[in-house]
Structure 1
Amino acid sequence: MRAVDCVGALIRDEQHRVYLQRRTADRRLLPGIWDIVGGHLEAGETPEEALAREVEEETGWKVRDIVRTVADWEWEWEGRVRREVDYLVTVDGDLTRPRLEVGKHDASAWAGPGDLDLLMVNRTDGDRRLRDLVAHVVRTRFTDRLRLEPITGPNGVLPGHSADLVRMYADPWVARWYDGSWSPEEAAARAVEQQASWDRDSVGKWIAYERESGELAGRGGMSRIPAGTPTAEAIAALVGPEWTGLELGWALVESARGRGLATEIGRAGLDYAFTTLNASSVIALTEQVNTASQAVMMRLGMQYAGEIRAEGWAAGEPDVQPDAPFAVYVEVRT
């Protein structure tokens, strides 16, 4: 692999927003676009040294911690290929007062889920890779033991999650509840669907990795049940009109079960719904026979709202049933 040419700093605040700055209109490379902090390595520098220098030069802040390497990718400009490594970092300094580097940047902003298209302003080539990279970081969450990444397909910067979805749905425990494993083609299609959901609604599932080992743990988070479907109407009849279709869910591979990880995913999902999306209510549902998931819902403080019927597993039946009983739990915040 070629040597690293440049580095990028994905500086994130406590609201999970990423810091952006606008390149001046007279810059030779990508004038007038919104960008992350970063630049080229100088002679003799390591990528980490260049990262610290660029952050201080462009913002006045100091790197406190490199949380993780997010991306290692290549891009081309005017016939030259550059290898870039991008890091999620925390910084020390007054985050309300960045010191813009004179002659290089003329504006700054903190980008949340609703601000991602700022990265396409003045982007005459239509290249979405930086936008998708920032979206990935804005939507990622960390719990005590898990890293929760928004499920996506490959986008030219990140490899996507279809291979891990194949692994996950090949797990016997997961396959049992979801009626079989996924082929690579189905997993790839589902990953693209999830990315579209994130982009359309700022809602989608995360894939969960254990922070210490990097091992796949499962998936979970929020999804939106389409309005007007029989399931949505049955749930709304139980929980009331303030519900906007948000559903919390999780699934763990067998090796991750029994350790409280589903509860960590659930708490992160509820926090995302109520803090980031400003939701008023969230439901979770599972077959009545799935007492383990119901126990998680109760640990999260969700309240039992009642029962609906939908396709799923039922007690004493060897196959999926068209009208299995499901328990519905709800969390309401005003």
Structure 2
Amino acid sequence: MNYQHLTTERLDLTAVSFADLAELHTLHADPRVWTHLPSGVHTTEQRTRADLEAYTADWERDGLGYWTARRRDDGDLVGIGGVRLRPTGTWNLYYRLAPDHQGQGYAAELVRAAIEAATAYDAETPVVAYLLDHNEASRRTAERAGLEQVWRGPDRDVPGGVRLVYADRSLPPETVERLH
């Protein structure tokens, strides 16, 4: 199956591409989508371009990756999300939505599609979400998708931050250790 283009009830999911650069930069440069991690704001288009280079390489190498999510009815950008194979041997679940589309169930729809695609593509590889403890909306989305918390502890990248790791299954201790 080709996972580069999928549809859900309300979303059109297309593998990220450089054609999306301007819109994805606008999304990632908006401080409102980084309230839980202000240092994550993209201050240059080059930062977004570097991410897109990595994300398009994921599709080429792994056959699955992050999608640009648009509304099916009008093509409006909803956000970006999907799964990305990490060196830890897990699929990293990611979702970031434009402020105008938050709170409308789009994140749940995107997450469901990502988990279903990852499971269909490679059921042996766990799906994992890394969240900051104070990002309650993201935590609720992960929990509603059936992920369970497998670790909680200090964040390596955010001084004083607490990182949560959620997964779609129980993980062996050595895998959990590699995740944080």
Q: Into which bin does the TM-score normalised by the smaller protein fall?
A: 0.7 to 0.9
Correspondence 1:163 to 2:19: no
Q: Which protein, 1 or 2, shows the higher relative CO under an 8 Å CA cutoff with sep ≥ 6? A: 2
**Match of 1:149, SS?**
strand
**Match of 1:208, SS?**
strand
- Contact 2:4–2:64 under 8 Å retained in 1: no
| Aligned counterpart in structure 2 of residue 261 of structure 1, from 103, 106, 123 | 106
Q: Which residue of 2 aligns with 1:59?
A: none
Residues 1-334 of structure 1 aligned to structure 2 (within 5 Å): 17=1, 112=2, 138-153=3-18, 160-176=19-35, 177=37, 179-227=40-88, 244-311=89-156, 321-322=158-159, 324-332=161-169
**Match of 1:220, SS?**
strand
- Contact 1:273–1:279 under 8 Å retained in 2: no
Q: 303-312 or 195-204: which moved more?
A: 303-312
Root-mean-square deviation over aligned CA pairs: 2.0
Unaligned runs of 5+ in 2: 171-180
Question: Aligned partners of 1:224 and 1:151: how far apart in 2?
Answer: 15
The residue identity in structure 1 corresponding to 2:151 is G
Q: CA deviation at 1:309?
A: 2.8
TM-score (norm 1): 0.47
Question: Aligned partners of 2:109 and 2:151: how far apart in 1?
Answer: 24
Cα 1:179–1:188, aligned 2, differ >3 Å: closer, same or farther? closer
Question: Aligned partners of 1:288 and 1:147: how far apart in 2?
Answer: 30
The residue identity in structure 1 corresponding to 2:92 is E
- Contact 2:42–2:48 under 8 Å retained in 1: no
Cα 1:182–1:209, aligned 2, differ >3 Å: closer, same or farther? farther
- How many percent of aligned residue pairs carry the same amino acid? 26
TM-score (norm 2): 0.84
Unaligned runs of 5+ in 1: 1-16, 18-111, 113-137, 154-159, 228-243, 313-320
Structure with higher helix content: 2
Q: Deviations over 1:30-52 (max 9, x none)?
A: xxxxxxxxxxxxxxxxxxxxxxx
